[in-house]
Amino acid sequence: MNHLPLIIKREYLTKVKNKSFIVMTFLSPLIMIALIAVVVYLSQLNNDKQRTISVLDETGHLEGVFQNTENTTYTNLNDLDLEAAKALVKEREDYGLLHIAKVDSLEDISDNIKFYSEESPSLSIMSSLERKIEEQLKELKLRKDGVSIAMIESSETDIDIVQENFDGEKSSKEGNIIKLIFGGIAGYLLFMFIIIYGNMIMRSVIEEKTSRIIEVIISSVKPVQLMLGKIIGTSLAGITQFVIWVILGGVLMIVVSLILGINLSELQTPQQEMINQAMQSEGGQAFAQKVFIGLGNLPIVNLIIAFLFFFIGGYLLYSSLYAAIGAAVDNETDTQQFMLPILMPLILAVYVGVFTVIEDPHGTVSTVFSFIPLTSPVVMLMRIPFGVPLWQQGLSLLLLIGTFMFAVWFAAKIYRVGILMYGKKPTYKELFKWLKY
Amino acid sequence: MNDLLVADSVSKNFGNFKALNQVSIAVPKGSIFGLLGPNGAGKTTLIRIINQITMPDEGNVLLDGQPLKPEHIKDIGYLPEERGLYKSMKVGEQCLYLAQLKGLGKAEAKSRLKYWFEKLEIGDWWNKKIQELSKGQAQKIQFIVTVLHQPKLLIFDEPFSGFDPINANLIKDEILQLRDEGATVIFSTHRMESVEELCDHIALIHKSNKVLDGKLNDIKRQYKTNTFEVGLQSNNSDAVLTEIKNKFEVLPATFRNLNDDIKLNIKINENTSSNDLLTFLTSKAEVHHFVEVIPSANDIFIQTVKNN
C-alpha cells in the first residue's frame, strides 16, 4: 500500500501548524529587517556627522585640493604658525589639523605631512586625505617633468580580450564573474537550507521514538515510506517557510525604507564597492552592457533546470543523511556531534567551486567533484555556466538521486534495526545481516 | 482451515542470542489466544514477526492459510506494549491518520470513529491534543485506533496497563464483543487473572521455546491433581480425621469458610471417583464444602516455568 502522500501530508501539516514554526516564519523577517535598518541607520548617523578639518599648508602646493563636501569643511590656517594653529584647532574642537611642513623640493613633501587630532582619526578620512594629496603631488611631479594630463589620458588603454569558443559563443571577464556569483549563490542557498532545515528533519525522524508511537507506525507502514515521507514533507514545510521569508522580507524591506526614508541600497558592502569602482573606471553603460551580454551568454534554460534539479537533489541527499542520524539515535541530545561531519563535504564543495572550477572548469578535479554526489550539487552548478555536456549533467544527477535513494533506504534500515535492539551493540556482521530484512 | 494464524517452527536470532527457537503456534479462528511467558521469553519477538516488523530467520507464518505479505497489514490490529501517540496532534486528526495508514477511506474512518467515540463516551475529545489527555485517556484512543479497521486478527500486548478497574472492565468487554463478532485475538499479558477470564487457548513461551500450549481447559485438566477441597463438620472430628488420613492422601487446606471443623485437601488416586470420596465422607460427617481443586493459570505458569 502506498501511504507516501498521506505521510507527506501529515508531516507537512504538523510542521506548518506548529506554533513555534509559525512564529518564526513571521518573526524572522521582521527581526532581520529591523537589524538591517538599525545598522543602516547607525552608519548613516555616523556619516551625517559634520566635521571641520583645518589645513596648514606651508608649501602652497596643495591649494585648491581640499574642496568642502557635504559633511566635511576644510578651513585654511595658512597665516598661522603650527603652534598657534594647533591651539586654535583644539579650542574650536575641530576634527583635526593637517600640517604640510615647508620643504625645499616636491619629493620631500610626502615625508613631512602630519595630522594632529584629539582622537585618532577614522580610517576612511585618512585614506581620503592621502588620496587627495597623492593625486595632486603626482600631477605636480608630472608637470614638473613636462608631461601634461592630456597626454596621460590619451595614453591610457583599456584591454578587454573577447573570449570566444569554436562554436562562436562569446564570453568575457564579467561573464566569468557572473558565473562565479551564480554558482556561489546556488552553493550558499543550499548551505543555508541544509543548516536551517536539516535539523528539522532529524527531529522529525526522532519524533516517533520520543512519543513511543514507533511500533504502531512501523506495523502499518514500511520504514522506507516513512523516511521518504518525512524528508519530503519536512522539506516542503521548509520551502514554504523560505518562500514566505523571501516575500515577506522583500515587502518589509520596501515598507521600512519608505517609512524611515532610508535608502537600503546605500548599505555599502565590499562587493558593491568593487562594482561601483568597476563602473566608474569603465563608465556605467559599458559595464552594464557587458553584464547584460554576460548574462545573455549564460545557458539560461539549462541553468534554471539544472539549478532546480541539483538544488532539490542535493537538498534531499543531505536531508536523508540527517534522517539517517535521526534514525540511529534515541534522543536529540545525541545528535549535535554529527552536524560538522555532514557539513564538511559541502564546505569542501564550495572551496572546490571557488578555487578550482573558476580556474579550470573542465579540469580533472572539477569534473570529478561534479560527479561525487555530496559535492556535485554545488560544483556542477558552478561548472554549468561554463558549458557542460548534457550527458555529464544527466549522469551526475542520476548519481545524486541514486545516492539519495540509497541513503533513504539505509536510514530506514537503521530505523527498523534500532527498535529491535535490546540495548546491546550489534557487531558489523550482524548489522549487515539485519540490513537484509 | 480452522486456524486463522499458524506459526510453523519459527526461529529468530539476534546475534548470538536466540530469541525464538522453533516455536509453533496455531490460533483458532474466533478464539482469544493467550500468549504467555516470563519477561524476555520471546513473546514480543513473535508478535513482531506476526506484524512483519521483523522477519523470522527460519520457519514461516500463515495468516488465513497464506504466507504473510504486506497486504496483511490491514488484517491485523496491533496494540504494542510500548505505545504512544503523536503528542501535539489532535485526537481526531490522529485517529484519521492512523486509520488511513491501515487502509481505511477517510469518510469510512470518520463514521467508524464517530461510532467508537460515542460508544466509549469520549466524543468531546476530538479536538483535544494528546498531551492534554491523561495516560488512561490516551490508552482509550490507542485501543480505538487498534480495532478501528476491523481486522481479522487483533494483537493486544498488556492492553489493561494504565487503566483503572472500571475502564479495564470496559475494554475487556469490548474485547469479548469483538471476539463474538468474529475477530480472533492474541492476548499477551502477565496478569493471570485476565488470562483466566478471557483466554480460550494459551501458549507459554519460556526461554525462547514454547513449553506449553492448548485449550486452557485441557491444560487445566492435564495439570489437575485429583485433589478436592473438603470442609466437614462432626462431633467426633479427631476420629473422622484419622479415618480419612488412613484411607486417602491428605494435605492441609487454606480455603476460607465459616465454621467447619475439618478443612482438608484430599487427593484421590485415579481408580477412585469423586463420588466414591463423597460417599465415604457423607457417611462419616456432614459435608459443607466439596470442590475439585482446579489449577489456576497462575499455578500452571509458575509450575511450568519452574520445571523448565
Each domain of chain B, given as residue ranges in start order, spans 3-221, 225-292
Query: Residue B31's pLDDT band (boundaries 50, 70, 90)?
Result: very high
B105-144, pLDDT tens digit by residue? 999 999 999 999 998 888 888 899 988 888 888 889 999 9
CA–CA separation, A38 vs A48, rounded Å?
15
CA–CA separation, B138 vs A213, rounded Å?
12
Q: Which single residue is written with the C-alpha cell 472492565?
A: B169
Does the pLDDT at position B162 exceed 70? yes
In the chain, the amino acid numbered A389 is: P
Strand partners, A115: A98
pLDDT for the residue B100: 92
Average pLDDT along chain A = 79
Spatial CA neighbour of A326 closest among A210, A435, A196: A210
CA–CA separation, B97 vs B111, rounded Å?
14
The phi and psi torsions of A200 (rounded to 5 degrees) equal -60, -40
Spatial CA neighbour of B143 closest among B105, B111, B179, B170: B170
Mean pLDDT, to the nearest integer, of B136-162?
91
In the chain, the amino acid numbered A390 is: L
Half-sphere exposure of A292 (CA within 13 A, CB side): 6
Higher pLDDT pick, A386 / B170: B170
pLDDT for the residue A298: 63
Q: Count CB neighbours of A96 within 10 A.
A: 22
Give first-to-last CA distance, chain A, whole Å.
18
Query: Touching check for B72 and chain A: CB below 8 Å?
Result: no
Indicate which of B13, B51, B87, B101 best probes the interface with A, i.e. most A CBs within 10 Å of its own CB.
B101
pLDDT for the residue A292: 61
pLDDT for the residue A127: 86
CA–CA separation, A382 vs A182, rounded Å?
7
Does the pLDDT at position A1 exceed 70? no
C-alpha cell at B57: 530467520
8 Å CB contact of A6 and B97: yes
Give the ipTM. 0.79
Query: Residue A270's pLDDT band (boundaries 50, 70, 90)?
Result: very low
Query: Residue B148's pLDDT band (boundaries 50, 70, 90)?
Result: very high
Set of chain A residues whose Cβ sits within 8 Å of the Cβ of B53? 215, 218-219, 416, 419-420
Half-sphere exposure of A73 (CA within 13 A, CB side): 8
Higher pLDDT pick, A189 / A339: A189
Q: How many CB pairs under 8 A join A and B?
A: 74
DSSP B90: B
Set of chain B residues whose Cβ sits within 8 Å of the Cβ of A212? 82-84
Q: Which single residue is written with the C-alpha cell 569602482?
A: A277
Set of chain A residues whose Cβ sits within 8 Å of the Cβ of B76? 219
Q: Which CATH number fits domain B3-221: 3.30.420.130, 3.40.50.300, 2.102.10.10, 3.30.870.10?
A: 3.40.50.300
Query: Residue A428's pLDDT band (boundaries 50, 70, 90)?
Result: low
Query: Touching check for A86 and chain B: CB below 8 Å?
Result: no
Facing A6 at nearest CB: one of B76, B83, B101: B101
Task: Calculate how close chain B gets to A430, using CA atoms only, in Å.
Answer: 6
**3-class secondary structure, A262:** coil
Contact A416, A223 (CB under 8 A): yes
Contact A377, A310 (CB under 8 A): yes
CA nearest to A431 within chain B: B15
A299-352, pLDDT tens digit by residue? 677 778 888 888 888 888 988 888 888 887 777 777 777 777 888 888 888 888
pLDDT for the residue B186: 94
Query: Touching check for A419 and chain B: CB below 8 Å?
Result: yes
Residue A67, CA distances (Å) to A85, A92, B29, B185, B275 in order: 20, 20, 103, 97, 132
Q: What is A140-153 written as a DSSP string?
A: HHHHHTT--HHHHH
Facing A213 at nearest CB: one of B15, B85, B100: B85
Does the pLDDT at position A284 exceed 70? no
In the chain, the amino acid numbered A74 is: Y
Query: Residue B99's pLDDT band (boundaries 50, 70, 90)?
Result: very high
Query: Touching check for B54 and chain A: CB below 8 Å?
Result: yes
Mean pLDDT, to the nearest integer, of A159-165?
69
Does the pLDDT at position A273 exceed 70? no
pLDDT for the residue B131: 87
Query: Touching check for B71 and chain A: CB below 8 Å?
Result: yes
Does the pLDDT at position A274 exceed 60? no
DSSP A337: G
The phi and psi torsions of B4 (rounded to 5 degrees) equal -75, -40
pLDDT for the residue A422: 44
Query: Residue B262's pLDDT band (boundaries 50, 70, 90)?
Result: confident
Spatial CA neighbour of B26 closest among B54, B60, B3, B55: B3
CA–CA separation, A291 vs A284, rounded Å?
11
Query: Residue A431's pLDDT band (boundaries 50, 70, 90)?
Result: low
Query: Residue A436's pLDDT band (boundaries 50, 70, 90)?
Result: low
- Which B residues 77-106 touch A at CB under 8 Å? 78, 80, 82-89, 97-98, 100-103
CA nearest to B73 within chain A: A220
Query: Touching check for A222 and chain B: CB below 8 Å?
Result: yes
Contact A172, A162 (CB under 8 A): yes
Residue A33, CA distances (Å) to A19, A43, A122, A248, B275 in order: 22, 15, 28, 10, 97
CA–CA separation, B22 vs B25, rounded Å?
10
Q: Count CB neighbours of A30 within 10 A.
A: 13
pLDDT for the residue A41: 79
pLDDT for the residue A429: 61
8 Å CB contact of B88 and A14: yes
Highest mean pLDDT among A12-16, A289-293, B225-229: A12-16
- Domains, chain A, in order of start with CATH, read 50-145 (3.40.190.10), 173-435 (no CATH)
CA–CA separation, B58 vs B4, rounded Å?
20
Task: Calculate how close chain A gets to B240, using CA atoms only, in Å.
Answer: 60
Mean pLDDT, to the nearest integer, of A167-182?
66
pLDDT for the residue A264: 47
A34-55, pLDDT tens digit by residue? 888 888 778 777 666 778 888 8
pLDDT for the residue B24: 93
Does the pLDDT at position A265 exceed 60? no
Contacts 24+ apart (CB under 8 A), A124-131: A125/A51, A125/A53, A125/A72, A125/A95, A129/A53, A129/A98
Mean pLDDT, to the nearest integer, of A411-430?
65
Give A9's contacts (C-beta < 8 A, 6+ positions apart): A233
Task: Calculate how close chain B gets to A246, using CA atoms only, in Å.
Answer: 28
Angle among Cα B177, B181, B187 to the nearest 5 degrees reads 60
Task: Calculate how close chain B gets to A1, using CA atoms only, in Å.
Answer: 7
Query: Touching check for A218 and chain B: CB below 8 Å?
Result: yes
pLDDT for the residue A423: 45
Highest mean pLDDT among A59-73, A273-287, A419-433, B29-43: B29-43
B267-286, pLDDT tens digit by residue? 888 788 888 888 888 888 88
Structurally, at CATH architecture level, domain B225-292 sits in 2-Layer Sandwich (3.30)
Average pLDDT along chain B = 88
C-alpha cell at A74: 576644510
pLDDT for the residue A424: 46
C-alpha cell at B255: 480455603
